[in-house]
Each structure stands twice: as C-alpha cells, then as structure tokens.
Chains A and B, each alone.
Chain A
Amino acid sequence: MSKLTITTEGHRYIVVRRRFAAPPEALYRAHTDPELIQQWLLGPEGWTMPVCINEARPGGKIRYEWAHETRGSFYLTGEFLELEPPSRIVHIERMHLPDPTPDNRVETRFEPDGTGTLMTMRMTLPDEKTRAAMLATNMERGMEVSYARLEGMI
C-alpha cells in the first residue's frame, strides 16, 4: 500500500498526507532550503530545477523554474504568508503555463509521529478550467510534462 493519501475536502480542497522517517526539523529544512528542494521537487526523470528561489520568511518570494532538454520549461511563483519552524508553512503559489493559474493557498504541517514525521498538506483544488488545461497539456505533450507541472502545485 502506498504511504501517500490524497483526499478531497468538499469540492474546494485537497488534503495530502504522508509519513517520513526523518524528524519535522529535517522536513522543514527540505522544504525551505533551495539546495535541498532542487534535489527532489523535480517531477519525472529528466527534469531539473535550474532556478530555485525560496525566501522562507513572511512575505518572502518563491520562484521555481523547471527545465527539460527536449520538453522546454515552465515556472511557478509564490509568496510566503506564515512560517512556524519546524511545524507549519503557509504560502500562496501559481503556475505559469504560461498564463498564470488561479492562486493556490497551501498549508503544510509537519507533526512528530514516533521517530518520524506526519506531513499534512492542505491546498485549494484547482477549478475545472485549470484542471482541464493541465489534462489537455498532458495529452498534447505526454504525461511527463503534466506530472512536472502538477508538482509545481505542491
């Protein structure tokens, strides 16, 4: 069974849960240190993140740019709203496909769970138009691009 659970809360929110073996401090760092983010927030094989700006303070900016040798590139921008290290991060983000998607407010929590961490991420469900755009992109250019784009939502 997968360690990841995704549930919808009403028709406006998605809640993602996953357990990790590391403590909350390590999870918090892996979500706020650009050098670490560039190692995992990449989507499918072949994608890199040449630009990673993550100013982890209230009002701080987020900018992730992904690139693929043959599939082009796209980016995400955002702003931090609240940070409570090592347990909580609230930020707003939008993808540029290249038109910006509606703002997505994301709340990420890291709670101690035995010797590890339970991560709970609550985010806004994209509206139908945005989802349709993602699925359409997926059909035109192959699953990989959409996977990577969806990753940007996290």
Chain B
Amino acid sequence: MRRAILARLAMGEVTVLELAEPFEMTQPAISQHLKVLEDAGLIVSRIDGTKRPRRLAKDGIEAMDQWLGMLRQAMEKNYDRLDDVLTGMERKKKRGQKR
C-alpha cells in the first residue's frame, strides 16, 4: 500500500483527497500511511491554504540508501568474523571429543 503511495508520489505532488480516491480508502486511512512515510523521512508536506500536499523527499530516500549501505558493510564485517569464531568453536569441540 505504502509502496503504491510512493509510486503515485513519484509522479508528482498530491493531496490526501487525490490519493484516497484511486486507492478507494478513507482519508484517515491514507493519512495514517502518509504519517508513517513522513516519519521515515521519505515524504514531505507543505501547507497550501487548508490543504497539505505531499511530495517525495529525495534527500530522505538517498539518506536511507546511504544508511542501509553502512548497515550492510558493518554487518558483513561482523558476520565474517563470526564465521571464524564458529569454526574455532567446532575445532575446540572436536579436540574435546578426542580426549
């Protein structure tokens, strides 16, 4: 659902009303999804009279990619190290069995 909203936003700025119609959802339901996306830093809103049109936050999406990239590198390093620890544990176990 949120992916569909992001896809729609990729085409340009929209209001809650404009989103609610094609997705056949109530305005509060759409607003809830938009809040999650906004908290994640993926979309931004502006005030236009009584409306609050939303658009994609390009910076937010790039920052997310960058952050996920850092997470991946950090985890790869740790788990490569864990492979060695596990090998060491197995060796120790075998040695213990021989005794």
A-side residues, CB < 8 A to B, are 2-4, 6, 8, 10-12, 14, 16, 18, 20-22, 26-27, 29-30, 36, 39-44, 125, 127-128, 131-132, 134-135, 138, 143, 146-148, 150-151, 153-154
Interface string of B43-84 (1 = CB under 8 A from A): 000000000000000001001101110111111111101111
Across the interface, do B63 and A16 meet the contact criterion of CB distance under 8 Å? no
Interface string of B16-46 (1 = CB under 8 A from A): 0000000000000000000011011110000
Across the interface, do B41 and A150 meet the contact criterion of CB distance under 8 Å? no
B-side residues, CB < 8 A to A, are 2, 36-37, 39-42, 60, 63-64, 66-68, 70-79, 81-87, 89-90
A39 and B86 in contact, given A6-B75, A10-B2, A132-B63 (Cβ under 8 angstroms): no
**Looking across the interface, which residue of chain A has its beta carbon closest to that of B40?**
A11
Residues of A within 8 A of B78 (CB): 40-43, 151, 154
Across the interface, do A147 and B70 meet the contact criterion of CB distance under 8 Å? yes
Cα A36 to Cα B30 in complex, Å, equals 47
Contact check: which of A18, A21, A30, A150 meets B71 at CB < 8 Å? A150
Cα A154 to Cα B71 in complex, Å, equals 10
Across the interface, do A131 and B63 meet the contact criterion of CB distance under 8 Å? yes
A22 and B89 in contact, given A4-B79, A131-B63, A135-B67 (Cβ under 8 angstroms): yes
Across the interface, do B72 and A21 meet the contact criterion of CB distance under 8 Å? no
Give the shortest distance, in Å, between B72 (CB) and chain A (any CB): 6
Across the interface, do B36 and A12 meet the contact criterion of CB distance under 8 Å? yes
Across the interface, do B74 and A147 meet the contact criterion of CB distance under 8 Å? yes
Cα A10 to Cα B3 in complex, Å, equals 8
Contact check: which of A3, A11, A22 meets B37 at CB < 8 Å? A11
A127 and B70 in contact, given A30-B86, A135-B63 (Cβ under 8 angstroms): no
Across the interface, do A143 and B40 meet the contact criterion of CB distance under 8 Å? no
Cα A148 to Cα B74 in complex, Å, equals 7
Across the A-B interface, the 5 shortest Cβ-Cβ residue pairs: A128-B41, A22-B86, A40-B81, A11-B40, A147-B74
A128 and B81 in contact, given A11-B42, A20-B86 (Cβ under 8 angstroms): no
Across the interface, do A147 and B39 meet the contact criterion of CB distance under 8 Å? no
Across the interface, do B85 and A151 meet the contact criterion of CB distance under 8 Å? no
- Identify 30 residue pairs between A and B in the complex whose beta-carbon atoms are under 8 Å apart, listed by A's number: A2-B76, A4-B75, A6-B68, A6-B71, A11-B2, A14-B71, A18-B75, A18-B79, A20-B79, A20-B83, A21-B83, A22-B86, A22-B87, A22-B90, A26-B90, A29-B89, A30-B85, A36-B89, A39-B81, A42-B81, A43-B78, A131-B41, A131-B63, A131-B67, A132-B41, A134-B70, A146-B74, A147-B74, A151-B78, A153-B71
